[in-house]
Structure 1
Amino acid sequence: MDETILVNYLQGECNDEEAARVEAWCEEGPENRKTLEQLYYTLFVGERIAVMNTVDTEASLDQFKSAIREKEKKAKRKSISIRWGRYATVAAAFLTGLVFAGGIAWGLLSNKLSDYEVITAAGQRAQTVLPDGSKVWLNASSKIVYHNSFWSSDRQIDLSGEAYFEVSHDKHAPFIVNSKQIKTCVLGTKFNVRAREEENRVVTTLLQGLVRIDSPRTEENGYLLKPGQTLNVNTDTYQAELIEYNQPTDVLLWIKGKLEFKQQSLLEITNIMEKLYDIKFIYKDEALKSERFTGEFSTDSTADEILNVLMHTNHFSYKKDGRIVRVMKK
C-alpha cells in the first residue's frame, strides 16, 4: 500500500474509495495493521507527547468521545476493529488544540499500538527519526525497537547491531539503549553503540554529552563516559575497558558507507580500523607505520578484506590472533 495514501487516510484526507481500500488492506493481515499503527504513532504521538502533562485530560477526553459519537452516527461501516483508523481523522481535526492530547491518551493507554521498529539487511544503512524526535543512523544488519509505553517515562530502545544516536534532550525521560544486558542511559547526547550478535561485547563511544553504562555487575553504579571516550564491555564476563581516541568521530565512518584513504600512513589507517572493528594492532617494525596508501573500501568490508588488499603492495604481512593483529615486514 502506498504510504502517501496511508498518511492521507490517517489525516482524514482520503475519499471514500481510498478509505475503503486502506481498511480492506488493513484487514488482510496483522503486519498491515502493525504498519498503519506505527505510522499513526509517528505522525501524531511523537510531536504531541510533550504537551500531555499540561492537558486537562478529563475535559479533553469528554470532548473527544463526543466527537467520536458524532462520527459513529454518520458512519455505517460494520468493521469495528478498524475504526480506530477512521477516528484518527477526528483526532486530526484537533491537532492544533489540546483535545488531541487527551484523546490520544485514551486511545493509546489501551496498549493497542505496536512498538516502533527499524531493521536493516546486509549492505543496507538507514536513518530514521524516533517518535520522541531523536535521530538514529542504523548500520547494516542491525535492528532497533523503540518501545511505546504510557506507563513509564523512560524511553526504552533495544539494539542489535550498530547505531549512532542523537538524542532529544528531556530531563524527565531518560533514553535507555538495551544491548545484551548492557544499558546505555542518557538524557540528551550523541553516541554510537555497537552490539553485534556475533561479537561478545558492547562498544559505546560518546561524542557529546554524558552517558552512564550499566551491566549486571555494576547495577546502578555504572560507568560514566565523557566525550571522546569509548567503553568496551565483555558480555560474557562484564569486564570493561575504557579507551580514549584522538579522533573518536572515526567510529562514525560507517554512516557514509565507505572508507577513503588518500596517501594516508599505515598507522593512520590501522588507527581507524581499531575503532571500526574493535581490534588492536601491534607493529613488529616501526618503519611500517610511515608507509602510505591510497584506496577506497566499503564499510561492510571485514578487517581481513582490507588488510589483504593493502598487503598486496608487498610491504607487509600480518597475523591475526583474536582481537590482536601483528603487522610485520615481508
Structure 2
Amino acid sequence: MQENYLAKWLNNELTEDELTEFKKSEEYATYQKIVDVTSGSEAPEFDMTKAWDNLQSRRAKETPKVITLSPFKAFLRVAAVIAVLLTGAYFYLNTQDETIRTQLAENREITLPDNSEIVLNAESKLSFNEKNWDSKRAINLEGEAYFKVAKGKKFTVTTTLGTVTVLGTQFNVENRNGFFEVTCYEGLVSVAYNGEEFKLPAGNSAVAINGSLSKSKVEINGQPSWINKESSFKSIPLKYVLAELQRQYNLEVTLEGIDENQLFTGTFSNTNLDLALKSISTPLQINYKFEGNKVLFYEESAP
C-alpha cells in the first residue's frame, strides 16, 4: 500500500483502483473501526463570549485594588507633612544653643544679644540660646569668663559647681575640676553654691576648692589679671597654678618630688614663657627643665 493512501482515504480522494487495493490491506480493517466509533461523537460546544467573561473575572480578582485619591485629598496630605516638617524645624532651630570654645593659649571676645560683653579665657566653653535670649537669659559655662553686663540687663551663668545671677555688673567666673571662683568688680551678684545662696557685692571674691568655700577682697572696678595677659593667684594650691600655665602656653607640665597641694601666691606672665617659669619656680625655690613643649619642675636638691 502506498504511504499516502490513508490521508487520501480520509479525504475521499482515492481512485477506485486505489480504494480496491487499500481495502485489501491489513491496516484498512483497523482504520475502518476507528472511523465507525468516532463518527458518532460530537465535539463539545465552545462559547467564546462566556470564556472571555470568565477570564476577565479571574483577572479582576487577582489584580491589586488601586484607590485613586482625589487631587484635593492628596494635596491635604502633602500639606500636612510639610507643616509637620516646618514645625519640627522651627522648634529645632530655636532650641539649639550657640556654643563658643577657646583652645589652649587662646582668648575670645563675645557680644550677647543685649550688648553685654564676655571675654572667654583659654580652654573654655560657653553656650547660650541666641534665638530665645529675651525669654531665656541663661549661659552655660565651662572654664573661665569675664562678664560686663549691660545696665538693667539680667541673666544667669550656670556651671557644674554653682550658679551666678547678675544685674548690671562686671564679674568673673571660673569653674574647673573642683575649682570654683566668682569675683565681683562692679554691682552685685547672687551666688548659689552647694545648696547655699549668698550675695557678693563689688570688691569681693568667693572661691571654693574641693568643697571648701572662702571669701576675700579685690579691687573695686578692677578686672581679672588674665584680661591684661597675667595670671594671679592668692593662696591657691600649686596644681591649679600649673594647670593655668599649661592652658596659657599649651604645655605639658610634670612634677618630680614637689607637693602639688602647697599654696602659691604670685603672678606669672601669659605672654613670656621664660619669665612665667621663673615667676613660679623662684618663690617656691624649685628648678625646672624646659624642652619642646614639656616642662619638668623638680626640687633644687635633686640631681
**What's the TM-score, normalizing by structure 1?**
0.45
> Relative to total residues, which structure has the larger strand share, 1 or 2?
2
> Relative to total residues, which structure has the larger helix share, 1 or 2?
1
**What's the TM-score, normalizing by structure 2?**
0.49
